[in-house]
Structure 1
């Protein structure tokens, strides 16, 4: 049985130094620094804030239970499903609101080499050469390679590798294959053609080639991936992959994971795409890798 947290301010899953408004069903674009006074965003209403405050005790109990299950290794059959945002508030008696401290960019209690995506109910392995996002402007970033460099196009700063995770909510399509095939072109354009500001960071994309596609088991569920080799006017180009699989929390809305790897000797090993995909686990269940679709493998 899953439990959706009430509307309120929680740590931003992809910018842990900020708090973000959860409207009870999805994240909004309203953010603020934890030390700044926070009023409910327009449309949130006083009622939503009242519900969030009165539910503080429930959230505290849920956080304690969640921590106990994680520390216990998720044994015992595990019928409980985690939803996000989940927090571990630092509560001071008499304070009007708790001060949540946990975030998706922090390691789990029992594995410091894991990045948690609580909203989508999964964890990612933090491989060598990768780090949790720091000073990253894009939304939904799970991890990046260390450091930045001057983009080949002569404008902006680039990173050799980035991984994004988001929930697909803008359409009614549920097929991982259809969603992955529909997303790959947009993913390649945003990574290597023009960014959100219209800049050609790599001089523009000149061509692409499909190098891998097919079904794959992700966190015990049947997903689908499409991978392109992208060539650019400047620089070595890179590899872009769109991976889609059903979420294990909430309404089981599809989860979209994008991989952006620069090609060339400075880019991360291409094998890291497969290692990251294979290492995705349901939140709080680091030993689960099989289940539905466990015998499925990607095809070239």
Structure 2
């Protein structure tokens, strides 16, 4: 008997990228996702961030600023996303179709889907990156975004130091498969060490913060996330404009596909208005395999 989980979609027409469908042990459900191989093959438009539904969470200013993809690329526009699809039939055992806790507060507020894609099944209080096979816990007061490719958490929107026409955040975390960020490296350690400089520049460089005048490595080492052995590098960066910040690049194998690396980029302002670094540590500890992604739940060591 085929066990519950993600399997090649038997109803896929062959048009478009390969996909997987959730089998609940007795029937095929309406939940689909891109197959890991399709994610690696296709050219996902990422830019400097990760597309999460209609909102691009880009790594600038506390890890992210907000763009609306259908608004000509103009920054500073936060938009509401469509609601998640209805849950699978009762008793199906499919991944939860819920969308955060207490409505959109403190949880995932959804995303949009492309042709042939379902919104990712999520659970209350988590934002799910379906392609990466992980779910990120959403702390109280934060906003979470789920998508077929990528997931993001943000808090503390404010005008960027470089101009009021862009919106930055005090704290931001987003995930994506490494291939979606065009990050190629053999190991998690190599990828994290390669990504941290890019993360720092995109989070606290450019027009929003000016150039980074200096940085200090404050942590670098092995870490276990969602049961997977990975590596994290954390820098403190000094900016030309506005608040300085902490950035972290965390890389580990996907619980859904051991040959796919997942990148979790973080950026926190150094400010009385920003979340403490202990919040970042708690989020990382709470990252887990998404429902149906396979075994390997667990926290960071």
What is the TM-score when the length of structure 2 is the normalising length? 0.60
Contact 1:219–1:280 (Cα < 8 Å) also in 2: yes
Instruction: Confirm or deny that 1:276 pairs with 2:279.
Output: no
Cα drift, residue 185 of structure 1: 0.2
Q: Which residue in the other structure is 1:68 paired with? A: 93
Q: State the secondary structure of the residue aligned to 2:185.
A: coil
Instruction: Confirm or deny that 1:119 pairs with 2:131.
Output: yes
Q: Rg larger in 1 or in 2?
A: 1
In the alignment, the residues of structure 1 paired with residue 254 and residue 261 of structure 2 have an alpha-carbon distance, to the nearest angstrom, of 6
Cα drift, residue 65 of structure 1: 10
Instruction: Confirm or deny that 1:189 pairs with 2:196.
Output: no
* Change in CA separation of 1:172 and 1:65 when aligned onto 2, cut-off 3 Å: farther
Greater percentage in helix: 1
In the alignment, the residues of structure 2 paired with residue 124 and residue 222 of structure 1 have an alpha-carbon distance, to the nearest angstrom, of 17
Instruction: Confirm or deny that 1:25 pairs with 2:27.
Output: no
Q: State the secondary structure of the residue aligned to 1:183.
A: helix
In the alignment, the residues of structure 1 paired with residue 116 and residue 269 of structure 2 have an alpha-carbon distance, to the nearest angstrom, of 39
Q: 1:163 aligned to 170, 173, 188, which one?
A: 173
Q: Which residue in the other structure is 1:153 paired with? A: 162
- Residue by residue, what CA displacement relative to the aligned partner does 1:116-166 show, whole Å, maximum 9, x if unpaired? 1111111111111211249xxxx94512114x2111123522111111111
Contact 1:115–1:132 (Cα < 8 Å) also in 2: yes
* Change in CA separation of 1:67 and 1:237 when aligned onto 2, cut-off 3 Å: farther
What is the TM-score when the length of structure 1 is the normalising length? 0.60
Greater percentage in strand: 2
Cα drift, residue 213 of structure 1: 1.2
Instruction: Confirm or deny that 1:264 pairs with 2:271.
Output: yes
The gaps in structure 1 that reach 5 residues or longer are 11-20, 35-62, 72-88, 90-97
Contact 1:145–1:162 (Cα < 8 Å) also in 2: yes
In the alignment, the residues of structure 2 paired with residue 235 and residue 118 of structure 1 have an alpha-carbon distance, to the nearest angstrom, of 35
Q: Which residue in the other structure is 1:244 paired with? A: 251
Q: 2:185 aligned to 148, 173, 184, which one?
A: 173
Q: State the secondary structure of the residue aligned to 2:163.
A: coil
Cα drift, residue 284 of structure 1: 1.7
Please give the root-mean-square deviation of Cα atoms over the aligned residues, in Å.
Answer: 3.9
Q: Which residue in the other structure is 1:3 paired with? A: 7
Contact 1:174–1:253 (Cα < 8 Å) also in 2: no
Cα drift, residue 262 of structure 1: 1.0
Q: State the secondary structure of the residue aligned to 1:173.
A: coil
Cα drift, residue 215 of structure 1: 0.5
Cα drift, residue 218 of structure 1: 0.4
Q: State the secondary structure of the residue aligned to 2:209.
A: coil
The gaps in structure 2 that reach 5 residues or longer are 19-32, 46-50, 55-87, 97-112
- Residue by residue, what CA displacement relative to the aligned partner does 1:92-130 show, whole Å, maximum 9, x if unpaired? xxxxxx986x524x741xxx1111111111111111121
